[in-house]
Structure 1
Amino acid sequence: MTSKIIFDHLKIYAYHGVLPEETIIGTYFILNVEIHADVWKATESDDLHDTINYAEINALIHEEMKIPSQLMEHVCGRIMRKIKDTFPQISFLSVKMTKTNPPMQGEMDGVSVYFEKKF
């Protein structure tokens, strides 16, 4: 059985970008993370050890977002590696990161990158 843990629109202020002002001023990033793993046992046991601790995943995401990077792709890769290394029972992981207010022409809600991987 596969279960899903989903982070919807996790909003974090961070300092990622190629332009110098992006690393000084910063902006909000929106993250959507989807995790697949068999955590069915927790439906009967009510034991945190039988599931994936999403509070710990939230902390890992925040840790990685504190490290400035030029590329959102790099940040997503670090987040995915850190989550998978911490919870090897994960069978699928996806991360969508959206930069709000990117320094580009035009009006938009943001620009995003998306990665997914099956294990």
Structure 2
Amino acid sequence: MDKIMLNQMEFYGFHGLYPEENKLGQRFYVNTELMLDLTKSATTDDMKDSIDYGEVYECVKGVVEGSPKNLIEAVAEDISVELFQRFTQLQACTIRVIKPDPPIPGHYQSVGVEIFRERKQ
């Protein structure tokens, strides 16, 4: 299946289990892989036959900068739900939400989740 990818989108949100995360907020990175047939848009060169990257960005931004969630798993799920509602040609998606600075001890680059969802027929 063909893919549209938006990588390393950066947002500021208030998700997390700890009160300071909900009060102070932190950075989140989101990667998306949107699976659909791009044959028509590749042939017509017309945006109406594809998915507008800017609209995807705004959709993801609305979720990540929206209502706080305890878990980034819930953030990823909400992103997938919004994308399926907004883009009828979307058949499946992979959503990766990365939290680079969680308030947990240890040495690591980041923590994150990745989900794969398919449109329910």
Please say whether Structure 1 and Structure 2 have the same fold, judged by a TM-score greater than 0.5.
yes
Q: Percent identity?
A: 28
1:54-69 alignment runs, 5 A limit: 54-67=53-66, 68-69=68-69
Counterpart Cα distance in 2 of 1:16 and 1:34: 22
Paired residue for 1:107? 107
Q: Give the aligned partner of residue 28 of structure 2.
A: 29
**5+ residue gaps, structure 2:** none
Per the normalisation by structure 1, the TM-score is 0.93
Q: 1:86: which partner in 2?
A: 86
The answer to whether the 8 A contact 1:101-1:108 is kept is: no
Q: Secondary structure at the match of 2:20?
A: helix
Match for residue 3 of structure 2? 4
1:34-58 per-position Cα deviation (integer Å, ceiling 9, x unaligned): 0110121111212110111111011
* TM, length-normalised to structure 2: 0.91
Unpaired runs of 5+ residues, structure 1, are none
Aligned residue pairs total 118
Q: Is the 8 A contact 1:39 1:52 kept in 2?
A: no
In the alignment, which residue of structure 2 is the partner of 1:48? 47
- Corresponding residue of 2:38: 39
Q: Distance in 2 between matches of 1:92 and 1:63?
A: 20
Q: Kindly report the root-mean-square deviation, in angstroms, between the aligned alpha carbons of the 2 structures.
A: 1.1
Q: Which aligned segments of 4 or more residues in structure 1 are displaced greater than 3 angstroms? A: none
